[in-house]
Amino acid sequence: MSAFFGLFLNPLFLLAVPTAAIPVVLHLLHQRRAPVHHFSTLRFLKISHQKTARRKRIHDLLLLLLRALVLALLALGLAQPFLRSGASLLGGTAATEAVLVLDCSYSMGASAGGATRFGRARQAAEAVLGGLGPADSVSLLAAPAAGGRPTAATSPEEAREMLQSCRLSYGRADLGEALRQAAASLAASSRPNREMVLISDLQRNSWPSSPSIPGLDPGVHVFVIDCGEEAGFNAAVTDLRVRGERRAVGTPVTFEAHIRNFQPDRVRKTVSLYIDREKKADERIEIAAASEAVALFTFTFDTPGPHSGWVLLPEDDLETDNRRFFHLDVQPRLPVLLARDAVSAVPVLDHVFYLEKALDPFRGLGHPERSALQVDATILPGLDEHLLEKYPVLILAQCVEIPTGTDAAIRRFVDEGGGLMVFLGENLRPQAWNDFFAPAGARPWLGVRVASPSAGPAPSEARPQGLQEPDLALPLFQPFQQESRHLFRQVQIHHHVLLEVEVADGTQVLLRTAGGDPLLIQALCGRGKVFLWSVPATTAGSNLPVNNLFLPLLHRMVHGLTESRGRRHDFQVGQPVQMPFESGTVSPVVRVVTPGGATFEAPVTRDGRVQTFQFQPALEAGIHEVFTGGEAVPAAAFAVNVDSAESEFEPLSEPEIRRLIPARTLHVARTPEAVRDRIEKIRQGVQLWNFFFAAVLLLALSECFLANRQSADRSRLSLHPAVK
Amino acid sequence: MPRRPYTYLEPAALHRLGRLSLVARSVVEGFYAGLHRSPYRGSSVEFADHREYVPGDDLRHLDWKTLARTDRRTIKQYEEETNLRAHLLLDVSASMGYRHDANGLTKLEYASFLAACLSFLMIKQSDPVGLVLFDEGIQAFIPPATSAAHLNHILRRLEDIRPSRATHASAVFHQMAERIRRRGLVVILSDLFDEPREVLRGLQHFRYLKHEVILFHLFDRAELEFPFRQITQFVDLENGERIQIDPAYVRQQYLSEVQAFITEVRKHCLEAGMDHVQAHTGTPYDRMLQAYLSRRQQFSP
């Protein structure tokens, strides 16, 4: 109903439309007041009446209709109706409400022929704004934008200034959401012409898969201006993985850069690694058409503390995706805590003897700085939360059982991101360990059950068994793929604990005995990780502790345990950042300084010893630094990278656009010039009241003609031939 | 030539004059003075004498037998006998009482004047004239006579006429045709607003019995012109029937219907050898009578 009244500028005059009934009323009254005349005979009158009644009825009806129409159209004309759209052949310009949706995703930064898509988009927006008058209203929606809502409606002149302040973002556009917001904004407008103008490179990944613009008024004209030129050359760093974020000085770090070639031609690229703003390495790779390749860099940090950097590709048509950032904290030495039931008086019989030797081979040799790990040993009864807070990795060696209270502390330690490695010995109490793995009354913490403390034959009659061929593609075993793979064949297992493993998400068996029993199990628990050996860390169960495999594998496992899933240091543009950090200062907020130098405050929540700040959304790509209180040294940092899906230039076809935008009138143009004329024609709505008044005039003339014909019949009273 | 006093005597003025006898006399005397001879001929013409033929005489009256026998050219002279019996049939139905102009005459009044004039004219020529008043049936019958008293009787009867009921002329005509034994002149003054075919059949009956028929077909001017402008409820004078009509729509059709009616009557009269004289109440009597009598003279010897 309101839409109907919205078609009139003075809808109050619609109240006068019922005056159209006046001719009918007058007709009825007039008929009632007909004078009586006594006539000689009705013979001829009746015949004449019968013969002319039909014509008279039509004539009367026509006259009545004309008179009623004159009055109705007069009332409608005074109500000033207008046509929302249509041809402008007959002149008139109706007020326009326009919402400009400007795609600011980083793919709009692609250049071709010396101009970027975003530059062309601005020109198109200028052209659209240039056709608007001072009485028109326009809103601007930069997609993606904070909150994703259009700006308040303003004059075209102000919108032009706002347009100048629009900048390319590092994010990916959600054009479906942007158009929904634009439709909602237009739905509230009552102006005759309502336009939604989308200026974009129409990149496929910016659109939803199905039409999703509910509430789009059929009267809204949708213009889509494609600013994407012919796709240029583009390769992008789509991912950068740093193996183990909690790295220590002297420990090689592997950077795995994934490079994707979006072109249909094979290319060669030099990929550079920058750390702390200095180029550290180059890697030359060749990438097949429309496929991906990996550039591997290994770097050993010699100073502890936070380190940032990026991987960089050479210049191409889209710069934004050529760089991918990382941030990691390098520890001086990684603290590892070893725990066993008791300390043995004979060192070699101590359960952690081989572990200590393997984890810290330089101990006692006078070169403590060479050690990558700081290994401390304790006994299980002395293990508590306070002690665990100091270590990211805990190794339990041949414990009979885990005391009550300590088990919960260990589980919590892991759940919060700690790493746990367990060597099971044949002296264990199965029930106690099963209770640790699956606490009573709670969901199983680990999908493992001790079936038997000893699965091997008696040592006297034992024939040791080897290992099944391991899957060397697993990240843990990748360093052993080439010349070191024979080390696995040298492992001899005498005794092992028989485990039943429930393989599920996050739980997998990494090594098996030749008989197929699980030997090494990896499991994810909460934000932490667990490695579970079914053999002890002594030579009592296997020759593993004295095998050349043991030391590198153990170190790799320890570093693997520090790959805490809760400690993310890299995020994507547009996503909220939630990151725990360690600081001696406790503050309700932290300051986040973006790569561009802008500073934002982010709230901090504290859960036990862990502080977590929340910052959203991240809008810039690069390294963000986090400061607590008034400190000048950042307490933490994180890297934000662009969504590599935006690097794909594949545009939507016009039929696809028409399917996704269910508008009654949709105009797609490849150039701003092509759409400008069309927009101007559409904007010139027709002021219908002029036509209504013209119709009134025409009808009045018709009425006069018909009425005069009647009148002429009355007045043409010349003498009838019969009289002459 | 003396001035003809009736020339500009309009019916409206006659209406104001009042008495019929005076009006009829003034009309007929003036008219009679202008005539050379009576157009009426008796049913028999008797021979009176011979005289010598002089050039210019009508050869139809040459006595061919005497010429053949004696070779003398003589002309036969006749003595006229005015024994023409005339019946004036005056329609007094309600429709004859219609007049559109309040100052004008009703058709009945107009017919009465006409009847008075004709009666005066005939009795002055010693022709017996009778009067029949009819509507659905015969309302009054005055047999033909020639005396002055008879004329007065007719005139008085005419002055007392009031329009009455519906017309059923055809039945009356049949009835009168049977009633008038001796051949004569039948003058009908009526609007003939009855079933046309029946009426014409009744008129034919007079002709079948060798009567000479003169039909004065009378109308009001409004009946011929239909001058009404606004939507009007028309009431039939004869049966009270009502109909509401916008004259603008029916006028043309109405005029066509009336014209067709008149044409049919006239055609039938001509075919049957009857004189059809159409008149409306605005027409001066003399013009109508002169036109009629002139036509009669064409057929006189």
Closest chain A residue by Cα to residue B231 = A34
Interface test with A, best of B250, B258, B264, B281 (most A CBs within 10 A): B250
Which range is least confidently modeled, A534-543, A713-722, B129-138, B253-262? Answer: A713-722
The CATH number of A334-561 is 3.40.50.880
How much is the pLDDT for A681? 63
Select, from the ranges A359-368, A457-466, B251-260, the one with the highest average predicted confidence (pLDDT): B251-260
A55:B255 CB<8 A: no
For an interface test with A, the pick among B254, B278, B287 (most A C-beta atoms closer than 10 Å) comes out as B254
Collapse the DSSP code of A137 into the 3-class scheme (helix H, G, I; strand E, B; otherwise coil) and give the result.
Answer: strand
Give the pLDDT score at B92. Answer: 92
Mean pLDDT of A118-131: 85
**A40, A55, A714 member nearest B223 (Cβ):** A40
Query: Residue B233 and residue A37: Cβ atoms within 8 Å?
Result: yes
Mean pLDDT computed over every residue of chain B: 78
**Residues forming CATH 3.40.50.410 domain(s) in chain A:** 96-231+649-683
**A246-260, A316-330, A438-452, B89-103: segment of lowest average pLDDT:** A246-260
Q: Does position A274 have pLDDT exceeding 90, yes or no? A: yes
Residue A67 pLDDT exceeds 50: yes
What pLDDT sits at residue B36?
36
- Integer angstrom CA distances of residue A293 from A222, A280, B262: 41, 20, 114
Say if residue B18's pLDDT is above 50.
no
Q: Could you report the per-residue pLDDT of A472-503, keeping only the tens digit for each? A: 888 888 888 777 788 898 999 988 999 999 88
Cβ–Cβ contacts within 10 Å for residue A342, how many? 12
pLDDT bin (cut points 50, 70, 90) of residue A260 is very high
Judging contacts by C-beta atoms under 8 Å, the chain A residues touching residue B240 are none
Which residues from chain B sit within 8 angstroms of residue A37, using beta carbons?
Answer: 228, 232-235
Whether residues B223 and A48 touch (CB distance < 8 A) is answered with no
Q: Is the pLDDT of residue A184 over 90?
A: no
pLDDT at A119 over 50: yes
Mutate to test the interface with B, among A41, A49, A58, A708 (most CBs of B within 10 A): A41
A44/B98 CB distance under 8 A = no
Residue of B nearest to A30 (CA): B231
B281 lies within 8 A of chain A by CB? no
Residue A363, pLDDT score:
78
User: Phi and psi dihedrals of A269, rounded to 5?
Assistant: -135, 145
Residues of B within 8 A of A48 (CB-CB) are 250, 253-254, 256-257
Whether B10 shows a pLDDT value over 90: the answer reads no
Cβ–Cβ gap B234/A42 under 8 Å: yes
Poorest-pLDDT segment among A218-222, A352-356, B230-234: A218-222
Diameter over CA atoms, chain B: 81
When mean pLDDT is compared across A70-74, A539-543, A653-657, B30-34, the lowest value belongs to: B30-34
| Contact residues, chain B, for A55 at CB < 8 Å | 249
41-80 in chain B: CB under 8 A from chain A:
none
CB–CB contact B236 A41 (8 Å) = yes
Give percent above pLDDT 70 in chain B.
77
Res B161: pLDDT: 86
The phi, psi pair for B49, rounded to 5°, reads: -170, 170
Distance from CA of A64 to the nearest CA of B (A): 15
Residues 6+ apart with CB under 8 A from A673: A127
Instruction: Of A178-192, A396-410, A627-641, B25-39, give the range with the top mean pLDDT.
Output: A396-410
Task: Give the model's confidence band at A457: pLDDT under 50 very low, under 70 low, under 90 confident, else very high.
Answer: low
pLDDT at A82: 65
pLDDT of residue B48: 56
d(CA A151, CA A131): 19
Please give the average per-residue pLDDT across B41-60, as a whole number: 66
Query: Which residues have a Cβ under 8 Å from the Cβ of A220 and sit 6 or more positions away?
Result: A183, A186, A194, A195, A196, A663, A665
Task: Answer whether A643's CB lies under 8 Å from A172's CB.
Answer: yes
Q: What is the CATH number of domain A235-331?
A: 2.60.40.10
Segment A204-220 mean pLDDT: 74
B165 close to A (CB below 8 A): no
Which fold, A96-231+649-683? Rossmann fold (3.40.50)
pLDDT given at position B79 = 46
Per-window interface: B 117-156 vs A, CB < 8 A = none
**Cβ-based interface (< 8 Å): residues of A facing B:** 30-31, 34-49, 51-52, 55-56, 59, 710-711, 713-715, 717, 719-723
Contacts of A512 (CB under 8 A, 6+ apart): A467, A468, A518, A519
CB–CB contacts below 8 A, A to B = 119
Comparing A144 with A332, which gets the higher pLDDT? Answer: A332
Under 8 Å between Cβ of A253 and A242: yes
Question: Are A45 and B232 in contact (CB < 8 Å)?
Answer: no
Summarize the confidence of residues A231-242 as an average pLDDT: 84
CATH 2.60.40.10 domain position(s) in chain A: 235-331, 573-639
Three-state DSSP string of A200-248: ECCEHHHCCCCCCCCCCCCCEEEEEEECCCCCCCCEEEEEEEECCCEEE
Q: What is the ipTM of this complex?
A: 0.76
Best to test chain A binding among B105, B243, B244, B253 (most A CBs inside 10 Å) = B253
Which of B223, B234, B250 shows the shortest CA–CA distance to A713? B250
Q: Is the pLDDT of residue A714 over 60?
A: no
pLDDT at residue A94 is higher than 80: no
Nearest residue in A to B163, CA atom: A40
8 Å CB contact between B26 and B6: yes
A721 pLDDT higher than 80: no
Output the pLDDT for position B47: 61
Residue with the larger pLDDT of the pair A469 and B43: A469
Lowest mean pLDDT among A169-183, B185-199, B250-264: A169-183
Torsion of CA A109, A112, A114, A119, to 10 degrees: -40
pLDDT score of A35 more than 50: yes
Chain A residues with CB-CB distance to B252 below 8 A: 713
Interatomic CA distance for residues A435 and A446, integer angstroms: 10
Residue B109 has pLDDT above 50, yes or no: yes
What's A636's DSSP letter? E
Rounded to an integer, what distance in angstroms lies between the CA atom of residue B277 and that of residue B273?
A: 13
pLDDT score of A362 more than 70: yes
CB contact residues (below 8 A), chain B span 204-263, against chain A: 219-221, 223-238, 241-259, 261-262
pLDDT at site A237: 93
Query: Is the confidence at residue B211, as pLDDT, over 50?
Result: yes
Shortest alpha-carbon distance between residue B142 and chain A (Å): 27
Q: What is the pLDDT of residues B56-75, one digit of tens each?
A: 777 887 888 888 888 888 88
Mean pLDDT to the nearest integer, A84-95: 49
Amino acid B219: pLDDT: 92
Is B166 in CB contact (< 8 Å) with chain A? no
For a pLDDT cut of 90, what percent of chain B falls above it? Answer: 16
pLDDT at B143 over 80: yes
Mean pLDDT over residues A147-153, rounded?
58
**By mean pLDDT, which of A253-257, A302-306, A681-685 is the weakest?**
A681-685
Q: How many CB atoms lie within 10 A of CB A709?
A: 13
Is A194 a residue whose pLDDT tops 90?
A: no
What is the pLDDT, as a whole number, of residue A535? 93
Cα radius of gyration rounded to whole Å, chain A: 42
pLDDT band at B301 (very low <50, low <70, confident <90, very high): very low
Most confident of A156-165, A359-368, A704-713, B137-146: B137-146
Per the model's pLDDT, the better-predicted residue between A694 and B239 turns out to be: B239
Lowest mean pLDDT among A435-439, B24-28, B84-88: B24-28
**Residue A470: CB atoms within 10 Å:** 18
Q: Work out the average pLDDT over A235-256.
A: 79
Evaluate if residue B43 carries a pLDDT over 50: no
Q: Does domain A573-639 have CATH number 2.30.30.230?
A: no
List the single residue in B with minimal CA-CA distance to A709: B248
Q: Give the pLDDT of residue A650.
A: 81
pLDDT of B8 reads 37
Q: What is the pLDDT of residue A166?
A: 83
pLDDT attached to residue A421: 95
pLDDT band of residue A545 (cuts 50, 70, 90) is: very high
Q: With bands split at pLDDT 50, 70 and 90, how would you rate the model's confidence at A211?
A: low
pLDDT of the residue at A523: 92
- The fraction of chain A above a pLDDT of 90, given in percent, is 19
pLDDT confidence bin for A173, thresholds 50/70/90: confident
Average pLDDT of span A701-720? 59
> What stretch(es) of chain A map to CATH 3.40.50.880?
334-561
For residues A514 and B121, the model is more confident at A514
Mean pLDDT value across residues A132-153 = 70
Query: What number is the average pLDDT over the span A670-682?
Result: 70
Query: Does the structure show a pLDDT above 50 at A56?
Result: yes
Taking the C-alpha atoms of residue A521 and residue A422, their distance in angstroms, rounded to an integer, is: 10
Mean pLDDT of chain A: 81
Residue ranges per structural domain of chain B: 11-37+82-299, 46-79
Give the pLDDT mean for A610-619. Answer: 80
Q: Report the predicted TM-score, pTM, of the whole model to 2 decimal places.
A: 0.49
The pLDDT-based confidence of A394 (bands split at 50, 70, 90) is very high
User: Kind and range of the H or E element at B131?
Assistant: strand B129-134
Superfamily name and number for B11-37+82-299: von Willebrand factor, type A domain (3.40.50.410)
Q: How confident is the model at residue A608 (pLDDT cuts 50, 70, 90)?
A: low
* Mean local confidence (pLDDT), A693-717: 68
